[in-house]
Chain A
Amino acid sequence: MGGGRTNVDSTLNYNGNNVYIGINVGEQDVIENQGFVVEGNGKANRLRAIDDTYIGLTDSSTRRNLRNRRGALDLDGSFLSNLRDLKNYIFIGTNSKNDVDVFAKVVLYDDNGKQYAWARRFLPKFRSFLKSLMQIALGLNMQKEFRDLFEDLLDDICAPLNYCKISPNETKELFASLLNATSKLKSITKIPRAGKKEQLVKSWKKYILVMGAATVRCMGSCTNS
């Protein structure tokens, strides 16, 4: 294998279990030695395991994301990038109030055009709630902001919901509605670039799924309502 760099994700059988192996293939070949990875440049990157076998290590110089300092536990870069892009599609113009209103119509009404029972109670807080939701999404990019995720979750997401007396079941309904909201937004359905729309919608759904579950879980722990 000459020149260029290829990312290979494969599964190897390790001690009877399939383990995930992600290899960044450098300029030279990847050699598999007794089921473990010996990576480019002929240098063996491996870790001795409990039974004196070895676990393959990636070569830090060839890691895909050099910004990443937490390796396996760092967030997905493309997911974060899509969330950044989404902001522009949800708040399109300078008059973001109109855009929020458009989004509110998508979220607060069901497919039959009927307003949800909790929508009227939640409407006054919806704008700040959505802004906070986007702010948290953008904050995931920054370690300093990401560290405050639980605080933001409690103060900016759970507190308004508790304030408006939205029950856990109604919260689930709200997040279910949010989950499908972006795919209904005209600004997103009109995206010309192939595949971009799907990427954005997929990232949004991943984001909302986690935030929804976390909100429902932590609503009872919010003291600031």
Chain B
Amino acid sequence: MASSNTAANVGLLSPPMIDIQSFSLWLSGLTPQIAADRIIKIDFGEEYNNKDKETSELYREETVDRFRTYQLLEKSLKTPRLLSRNKYLFSASISDVQKRDLVSRYYSFDSRVFRHFLGRKLTNKFQKDLDDVRDEVGVPLRSVRRQFDNLRRVFDFYDDVGDNVVVTTQTLLEIEYFLPEYLSRAYSCALFLLVHRFQLQISKKKYQLLTWEDCCFVAEHIMLHWLQRPAFNETKVIMPTQNRSSSTPMELQTGANNNNEGVISNNNDIGVEPFSQKHDPPQKLNMDNSIYSAPSIDGGGANKCR
């Protein structure tokens, strides 16, 4: 009896590993080589110079493998509603909290990059000019593209349904994109500035000194007080904005004696009837630009991973 030999290729696939450190580096738009080098620096610390070639190669291969995993997940991260249906991710048994964390990291942004998007139409033509943003801000092009695509996706979504939706803009983004409160508020402000097409082109000299935080601050105030329908939820959120000596929340004082009794802290104090949402003035401002980014490996935001 003749025996037959059958050859088969067998592929073994382990559940994907989501490592926040490498995920942050991937979001930063770094190449696997540079990212691996960063990880070695962190892992080895002062002994960085003593590492051998084999170790470097192992780190690089591992990083390449992880980056490949993240690319497989990217489609689901762009449309978070697909996240729960992603079988590949499902096999990793990632909790909802972790999924939300991944999405919020994916939608995090660098305020300097977002500043360049204000006052511009998010068109394909602009997409081709993102190299200029990279050159001016110094953020890798892949990261700039991700931030641009994220903003355009949110903008297009709002453009489609935001006109008619009955929940607040903030809630809409939280439901559709799994965004945490601070990000959904920041994206709401960006939407407001883009939808009304405010003249804010950073290429114009007069707007160059206006930061994203300035624009966001003004937008948030307008959205709190001038809109016909509330744009934010009632919950009080610390709005991350850049600190400035003159940028503390406006404490208007009545009378010349400057006593604190006259400090206006909310609408009730100025005799405006209570709105259907709480109209808190923007909160104490924080200096860290990276606050829009999820914490990265070195404790800062993704924008620090350069």
- Taking beta carbons and an 8 Å cutoff, which residues of A are in contact with B? 9, 14-15, 17-23, 37, 45, 47, 49-51, 55-60, 63, 65, 68-77, 79, 110-112, 114, 116, 140, 143, 146-151, 153-155, 168, 172-173, 175-176, 179-180, 201-202, 205-207, 209-210, 212-214, 216-224
Instruction: Name the residue of chain B whose CB is nearest to the CB of A111.
Output: B255
Whether the pair B262, A176 counts as a contact (CB closer than 8 A) is yes
Whether the pair A218, B218 counts as a contact (CB closer than 8 A) is yes
Residues of B within 8 A of A71 (CB): 162-165
Inter-chain CA distance A49–B161, complex, in Å, is 12
- Taking beta carbons and an 8 Å cutoff, which residues of B are in contact with A? 80-81, 84, 161-169, 171-172, 175-178, 191-192, 195-200, 205-211, 214-215, 217-218, 221-223, 225-231, 233-234, 244-247, 249-256, 258, 262, 264, 267, 270-273, 276-277, 281-282
A to B CB contacts below 8 Å, 25 in the list: A15-B175, A19-B168, A19-B171, A21-B167, A50-B81, A50-B175, A58-B164, A69-B163, A72-B169, A72-B227, A75-B222, A75-B226, A168-B245, A176-B252, A205-B271, A209-B221, A209-B267, A210-B226, A216-B247, A217-B218, A220-B209, A220-B245, A221-B214, A223-B208, A223-B209
Whether the pair B231, A72 counts as a contact (CB closer than 8 A) is yes
Residues of A within 8 A of B254 (CB): 176, 179-180
Whether the pair B252, A175 counts as a contact (CB closer than 8 A) is yes
Whether the pair A150, B207 counts as a contact (CB closer than 8 A) is yes
Whether the pair B262, A150 counts as a contact (CB closer than 8 A) is no
Residues of A within 8 A of B226 (CB): 75-76, 79, 140, 206-207, 210
Inter-chain CA distance A17–B176, complex, in Å, is 15
Q: Given A73-B231, A76-B227, does the pair A55, B215 have CB atoms closer than 8 Å?
A: no
Whether the pair B264, A221 counts as a contact (CB closer than 8 A) is no
The smallest C-beta distance from B77 to any residue of chain A, in angstroms, reads 13
Q: Given A22-B166, A72-B165, A73-B227, does the pair A147, B176 have CB atoms closer than 8 Å?
A: no
The smallest C-beta distance from B86 to any residue of chain A, in angstroms, reads 13
Whether the pair B271, A202 counts as a contact (CB closer than 8 A) is yes
Whether the pair A219, B161 counts as a contact (CB closer than 8 A) is no
Whether the pair B192, A73 counts as a contact (CB closer than 8 A) is yes
Residues of B within 8 A of A59 (CB): 164
Q: Given A175-B250, A209-B270, does the pair A14, B167 have CB atoms closer than 8 Å?
A: yes
Inter-chain CA distance A70–B262, complex, in Å, is 36
Whether the pair A150, B199 counts as a contact (CB closer than 8 A) is yes
Whether the pair B228, A74 counts as a contact (CB closer than 8 A) is yes
Residues of A within 8 A of B223 (CB): 73
Instruction: Name the residue of chain B whose CB is nearest to the CB of A18.
Output: B234
Instruction: Name the residue of chain B whose CB is nearest to the CB of A65.
Output: B228
Given pairs A55-B167, A220-B245, A223-B206, 11 additional interface contacts (CB within 8 A): A9-B276, A37-B166, A76-B228, A140-B226, A143-B196, A154-B206, A210-B226, A212-B250, A217-B214, A221-B210, A223-B205
Total A-B Cβ pairs within 8 A: 213
Whether the pair A217, B217 counts as a contact (CB closer than 8 A) is yes
Q: Given A75-B227, A147-B198, A213-B249, does the pair A111, B191 have CB atoms closer than 8 Å?
A: no
Residues of A within 8 A of B172 (CB): 55
Residues of B within 8 A of A220 (CB): 209, 244-247
Inter-chain CA distance A172–B252, complex, in Å, is 5
Inter-chain CA distance A21–B233, complex, in Å, is 12
Whether the pair A168, B228 counts as a contact (CB closer than 8 A) is no
Whether the pair A168, B165 counts as a contact (CB closer than 8 A) is no
Whether the pair B196, A55 counts as a contact (CB closer than 8 A) is no
Closest 9 CB pairs of A and B: A71-B163, A110-B256, A168-B246, A176-B252, A221-B209, A213-B250, A76-B228, A50-B81, A57-B164
Residues of A within 8 A of B231 (CB): 72-73
The smallest C-beta distance from A193 to any residue of chain B, in angstroms, reads 18
Q: Given A55-B172, A71-B165, A72-B162, does the pair A111, B256 have CB atoms closer than 8 Å?
A: yes
The smallest C-beta distance from A14 to any residue of chain B, in angstroms, reads 7
Whether the pair B252, A17 counts as a contact (CB closer than 8 A) is no
Whether the pair A209, B252 counts as a contact (CB closer than 8 A) is yes
Q: Given A9-B276, A21-B167, does the pair A146, B196 have CB atoms closer than 8 Å?
A: yes
Whether the pair B227, A49 counts as a contact (CB closer than 8 A) is no
Q: Given A57-B164, A72-B162, A219-B246, does the pair A110, B255 have CB atoms closer than 8 Å?
A: yes
